Amino acid sequence: MQSNSIKKIVIVGGGTAGWMTAAALSSLLDKTQVSISLIESEQIGTVGVGEATLPHLRFFIKRLGIDEQEFMRRTNATYKTGIEFINWGQVGESYLHPFGDFGQSINSVDFHHYWVKQRQTGDKTDIGDYSLPVVASKMGKFDYPSSDEQSILSTFSYAFHLDAGLFAKFLREYSEEKGVVRTEGLIKHVKQDDKTAFISSVTLDSGQSIEGDLFIDCSGFRGLLIEQTLKTGYDDWRHWLPCDRAIAIPCETMSAPLPYTKATARDAGWQWRIPLQNRVGNGHIYSSSYMDDTTALDVLLQGLDAKPTGDPNFLRFTTGRRKKAWNKNCVAIGLSGGFLEPLESTSIHLIQLGIMKLLEFFPDKHCDEIKSAEYNRMMSLEFERLRDFLVLHYHATRRNDTDFWNYVRTMSLPDGLEHKMELFKERGHVVQYTEGLFLKASWLAVYLGQGVIPTHYDYNVDAQPQAKVENFLKQLKGNISDAAAGMNDHAISLANHCDINVNQTPPPASMSLYGRDA
C-alpha cells in the first residue's frame, strides 16, 4: 500500500446517511488496509422522515450482499410501484407516476404521440390505462417483475417503503460486523492542518480525539464539517421550491398497505402518506410564507386515515445544495450536502449516489482536486436536474385557488426548464438527459398527469392506419388489465415473498385510488 493511501476514514453522524456510508465503505473497501470509524450521539435525533425510496436502493442492498427479504422484514418494509399525485394539476384530479413505461413505441415512434392523436379524435382513455404498474397499483396488486423481456409483466420495476430508523439500525449491525467502530459522543472541536486546512481530527465532549485522513460529513442540516468548519457555502433554491417546513407523524394502519406512496397537494404545500407493515408514515411539507405552523399541523391531522401513534415532529429546512459536496478532505453525504423535498423520494437515492461516486473517485491523502472537481460536477448536475423535475410539479399546475399556487404557477423558472416545457407543449418532445435520474416516462407522467397536453404529435403517427392503431391500443389496454388482475394482492405478496403478515383487509371504497380527498 502506498504511503499516501487513505488509512483512516471518519464518518461524522449516523442515521440513514451515516450508516449507508459505513455499510458501503466497509463492504467495498479492503478492510485490512482501511479503518472506518463512525461518530454519533444519542442526544442528536435524526430526521428520519424519508421512508419512501426509488428502485435504485434494491441494487445497493444487493451489491452489499444483503438479502432483500431479510431487509424487508427488519425494516417493516412494503413494496412500492409508484407515487400517486392528488390535486396537483387541479383540485380533484389525480394521476400516478409509475416505475414503468406507458405503452410501447410503434414503428420507433413513442407511444404517447399515438395517445395524443387519439385524444384529439375524442378518445379520453387515461394514459395510465396503458401502464401495468398504474393499473396494478389501482387494484392493490404486486408481484415481482418477470425476467422474460417479452412478457408484459417485465414492464415495471419496484422500490420500497421502509422505516428509516430501523434501516439505520439494520445497517449499523451490518457495518459493525464488518469492522466499523462506532463512538458515542458530541464533537466539541474540529482541528485543521495549519498549511492545507484539511481536517486532521475531531475532539469529543469526553476529551477523546479521533484522527482521520478522509472525513465524511453525515451530520445532517448542520453540516458540522462541510459548513461550520470549512465554510463551503450553500445555494438557496427557495425561489423555485418555496416550501421550508415539514411536520411528520405516524398513524395506525386500518387496511392492507397500498403498493404506492401518496402525495396530496394542500393549500401551501403537500402531504405524504407512506404505508409500512405496522403503521402509516405521514407528513406535511409547506411554505412558512403562506401557512403558519398551527394551521399546517391542523391540515396534517385532518388528513390522517387513523389515530396518530406518536407526537408531531417539526422540521425546518432550506431547499438547495452545498456549493461543493467535496471540499478538501471532507465529503458531505445526505442532508449535509443539500436537501430536496421528498416529493419524488430522492433523499436516499442522493445518499446512495454520493457514496458510489465517492468510491468511483476514491482519493489518496492529498485528495486530488481533479477527482473532487469531477465529483462535485456530477453531484451538482444531479441536484439541479432533480430540482428541475420537482419544480415541474409545482409550475405545471392550473390551480389558482391560493396565493401559494398562484406564485409557483407564475414564478420564473431555472435555466432550460421553460424551454423543455414549451417544447413538450408544442411538439410532445421530451428532452432527454445523458446523465440524470428521471427518464422520459417520468416526465410524461407529470406532464400528462397535470394536464400539459401537446398541441401537435409526431407526424409519423399519421403513416399508420387509424383502425390498426385503435385495435392495437384496445388490445394493449386489455392485456394490461388482464395481467394486473392476475397478480397477487400486495399483502399476499408480502406474506409469500417475505413471510410478512399484514392486514389484508382491502381499503374502503372511498380510499381506493384517490383516498379521502377524491
CA-to-CA dists, residue 168 to 17, 162, 171, 333, angstroms: 8, 11, 5, 15
Half-sphere exposure of 146 (CA within 13 A, CB side): 13
DSSP string, 79-99: EE-EEEEESSSSTT-EEEEES
User: 496-500: which pairs have CB atoms within 8 A and are 24 or more residues apart?
Assistant: 497/69, 497/72, 497/144, 498/69, 498/72, 498/73, 499/69, 499/73, 500/72, 500/73, 500/277
Sign of the Cα pseudo-torsion (64, 68, 73, 79, in order): positive
So what's the pLDDT on residue 47? 55
Give dist(CA 453, CA 427) in Å, integer: 10
Buried b (16+ CB within 10 A) or exposed e, 430-440: beeeeeebbeb
Residues across the chain: 518
The rounded Cα 262 to chain-centroid distance in angstroms is 13
Catalytic residue, candidates 8, 31, 80, 425: 80
Instruction: Specify if 468 maps to a domain.
Output: no
Give dist(CA 95, CA 441) in Å, integer: 13
Instruction: Specify if 62 maps to a domain.
Output: no
Is 440 assigned a catalytic role? no
CB atoms within 10 A of CB 65: 8
Domain count, the chain: 1
- Residue 341: CATH number of its domain: 3.50.50.60
Give dist(CA 271, CA 299) in Å, integer: 9
Instruction: Specify if 469 maps to a domain.
Output: no
Instruction: Specify if 92 maps to a domain.
Output: no
Strands (E), 152-230: 159-161, 181-184, 187-192, 199-204, 209-211, 214-217
Helix (H) or strand (E) holding 119: helix 111-120
So what's the pLDDT on residue 436? 64
Residues 38 and 11 sit within 8 Å (Cβ to Cβ): yes
Give dist(CA 394, CA 411) in Å, integer: 10
Instruction: Specify if 148 maps to a domain.
Output: no
Instruction: Specify if 124 maps to a domain.
Output: no
Q: Tens of pLDDT along 228-264? A: 999 999 999 999 999 999 999 999 998 899 999 999 9
Instruction: Specify if 423 maps to a domain.
Output: no
**Residues of the domain holding 19:** 8-51+163-238+319-386
Instruction: Specify if 181 maps to a domain.
Output: yes
How buried is residue 423: exposed, middle or buried, by Cβ count under 10 Å (0-12/13-18/19+)?
Answer: middle
The closest alpha carbon to 498, from 154, 157, 52, 74, belongs to 74
So what's the pLDDT on residue 509? 40
At residue 138, φ and ψ (nearest 5 deg) are: -60, -30
Helix (H) or strand (E) holding 69: helix 68-74
So what's the pLDDT on residue 147? 94
So what's the pLDDT on residue 516? 30
pLDDT by residue, tens only, the chain of 518 residues? 457 999 999 999 999 999 999 999 999 999 899 999 999 998 766 555 558 999 999 999 999 999 999 999 999 999 999 999 999 999 999 999 999 999 999 999 999 999 999 999 999 999 999 999 999 999 999 999 999 999 999 999 999 999 999 999 999 999 999 999 999 999 999 999 999 999 999 999 999 999 999 999 999 999 999 999 999 999 999 999 999 999 999 999 988 999 999 999 999 999 999 999 999 999 999 999 999 999 999 999 999 999 999 999 999 999 999 999 999 999 999 999 999 999 999 999 999 999 999 999 999 999 999 999 999 999 999 999 999 999 999 999 999 999 999 999 999 999 899 999 999 999 999 987 766 678 899 999 999 999 999 999 999 999 999 999 999 999 999 999 999 999 999 999 999 988 887 776 665 443 333 233 32
Q: Tens of pLDDT along 97-147? A: 999 999 999 999 999 999 999 999 999 999 999 999 999 999 999 999 999
Q: Which grid cell is 321?
A: 445544495
Q: Which grid cell is 187?
A: 464533537
